[in-house]
Structure 1
Amino acid sequence: MPLVTIVALCYNHARFLAVALDSIRAQTYAELEVILVDDASTDGSPVLLRRYAAENPGWQLHLLPENVGNCRAFNVALRLAKGDFIIDFATDDVLLPERVARQVAAFAAAGPRCGMVYSDAELIDEAGRFVRPHFRRDAQGRLHPRPASGQVFADVLARYFISTPTMLMRRATLLALGGYDETLAYEDFDFWVRASRDWEFHFLDALTTQKRLHPQSMSRKGYRPHDPYLRSTIRVCHKALALCRTPTERAALAVRVRWELRLAVRHRNLPEARDLYQLLRELRAVRPLDWVLGKLAGG
Structure 2
Amino acid sequence: MADTVALPLVSVICLCYNHERFIAEALDSVLAQTYPNLEIIIVDDCSTDHSVEIMEPYLREYPQLTFISTGTNLGNTRAFNMGWRASKGAFIIDFATDDVLLPDRVEKQVQAFLKLDESYGVVYSDAEYVDDNTKHIGFHCVRNKQGEVISFAPSGDIFKHLLGRYFICPPTMMMRRTVLDELGGYDETLAYEDFDFWVRSSRNYKYFFLGDVTTRRRVHARSLSQQWYKPGSLLVASTVTVCEKAARLVRTPEEKQALTKRLRYEARHSYLTGHYQQTERFLELMRKHAGLGPVYQTIRLLNKYKINLGFLRRVYQSLRNRL
Q: Could you say which TM-score interval applies, normalised by the shorter chain? A: over 0.9
Deviations, residues 173-213 of structure 1 (Å, cap 9, x unaligned): 00100000000000010000000000001100000000000
In structure 1, what is the Cα distance between the partners aligned to 2:37 and 2:158?
A: 29
Aligned match for 2:182, one of 153, 176, 198:
176
Deviation at 1:283, TM superposition (A): 1.0
Contact 1:46 1:63 in 2 (8 A): no
TM-score by length of 1: 0.97
1:219 maps to 2:225: yes
Amino acid at match of 1:61: F
Output the CA distance in 2 between the equivalents of 1:79 and 1:22: 24
Which residue, 173, 195, 215 being the options, matches 1:189? 195
Following TM superposition, where does structure 1 have runs of at least 4 consecutive aligned residues deviating by more than 4 angstroms? none
Cα deviation for residue 235 of structure 1 reads: 0.1
* 1:225-277 CA distance string (max 9 Å, x none): 22200000000000000111112111111111111111111111111111111
Q: Quick one: which amino acid aligns to residue 96 of structure 2?
A: A
Segments of structure 1 that go 5 or more residues without pairing to the other structure are none
> Which residue in 2 is equivalent to 1:42?
48
Within the alignment, does 1:271 sit opposite 2:303 as a pair?
no
Distance across 1 between alignment mates of 2:72 and 2:269: 33
Q: TM-score, normalised by structure 2?
A: 0.90
Aligned 8 A contact 2:130 2:216 in 1: yes
SS in 2 for 1:79: helix
CA offsets 1:35-76 (integer angstroms, 9 cap, x no match) = 000000000011122221111101100122100001010111
Residue number in structure 2 paired with 1:26: 32
The sequence identity of aligned pairs, in percent, is: 46
Give the corresponding residue for 1:124: 130
Structure 2 equivalent of residue 54 of structure 1: 60
CA distance in 2, matches of 1:113, 1:136: 28
Contact 1:49 1:61 in 2 (8 A): no
Aligned residues: 299
Tell me the CA shift for residue 285 of structure 1. Answer: 4.0
**Which residue identity lines up with residue 291 of structure 1 in the other structure?**
Q
Distance across 1 between alignment mates of 2:291 and 2:26: 44
Give the aligned CA root-mean-square deviation in angstroms: 1.1
Local SS of the residue matching 1:209: strand
Pair 1:196–1:54, CA change in 2 (3 A): same
Q: What is the CA deviation profile of residues 17-40 of structure 1, one whole-angstrom value per residue up to 9, with x for unaligned ones?
A: 000000011100000000000000
Taking the aligned partners of 2:37 and 2:165, their CA distance within structure 1 comes to 34
Q: Distance in 2 between matches of 1:258 and 1:144?
A: 27
C-alpha separation in 2, matches of 1:46 and 1:298: 47
- Conserved in 1, the CA contact under 8 Å of 2:149 and 2:211? no
Partner of 1:281: 287
Question: Residue in 2 aligned with 1:72?
Answer: 78
Q: Distance in 2 between matches of 1:239 and 1:229?
A: 16
8 A contact 1:50–1:61 mirrored in 2: no
Unaligned runs of 5+ in 2: 1-6, 306-323
